[in-house]
Amino acid sequence: MRIATWNVNSVNARLPTVLAWLEAAQPDVVGLQEIKCLDEKFPREAIEDLGYNIETHGQKSYNGVALLSKHPMSDVRRGLPGVDASGHEAEVEQARYIEAVIETSRPVRVGCLYLPNGNPIGTAKFAYKLAWFDRLQAHARTLLADEEAFTLCGDYNVIPTPEDARNPSAWVGDALYQPESQAAFRALRHLGLYDAGELGKQPPGTFTFWDYQAGAWQRDHGIRIDFHLLSPQAADRFRGVETHREARDMDKPSDHVPVVVDLED
């Protein structure tokens, strides 16, 4: 089973690019982030024509996540469980998480997430990022207790180590590279999750994001911020991982590229 994660940076603005990649890569399941549209504005028909079932958790103009699957989906959950620092369900405001069980002979649960950016640091936005990480960690504990095969995949908006950036010094003042962000990512992994990129022994410089500004793509000033974190049961089925760098050079590309993990059926 080929499971992809991709921050498409507006599914409607980049629909021809998305459709072209889906047709070429033929993933079985895709978690999309930053679809940037309400559920009713999602280009459902064009993607269904490629054989996908679709579940969305959209939001006008910002955020938004979706799951596409060539297999039936069940136990669909929209919104990350838990509450924000004020005691309110933060997902009412920001659509950042969707999850479903992919129903095959060996089911896999896929959680698709778009973690808050958190900039600028020292503001409520950074506090919200760390609080969201806490909620994600709590949810991961619950999933691990069920001993299912699952991936928590998506745009984590964190640069975990200096090796995950071409030019680490350029990110010192950014929320993605703060010690608190890195510590939260480590804490999540240390629950017992496996980074597919590490399992697949991807070399340093396997980046997933290049900014549109300052010639970042042309100079290969990339960062790795898109991940599949696998449960032990999913890691046991791991066969490989691919980062589709070529997608950054497509017509009207996203600033992120797809990351595809291959699990035994």
Active site residues: 114, 155, 256
pLDDT of residue 61: 94
> How far apart are alpha carbons 47 and 10 in whole angstroms?
14
- The pLDDT of residue 82: 77
Predicted TM-score (pTM) above 0.75: yes
Q: What is residue 92's predicted lDDT score, i.e. its pLDDT?
A: 53
Flag whether 7 is marked binding: yes
User: Is 249 annotated in some ligand binding site?
Assistant: no
* Residues in the chain where the model's pLDDT stays below 70: 83-93
Residue 34 labelled as part of a binding site: yes
Q: Is 157 annotated to bind ligand?
A: yes
What structural domains and CATH numbers belong to the chain? 2-263 (3.60.10.10)
* Structure confidence at residue 73 (pLDDT): 98
Task: Give the per-residue pLDDT at 81.
Answer: 86
Residue 40 has, within 13 A of its CA and on its CB side, a CA count of 0
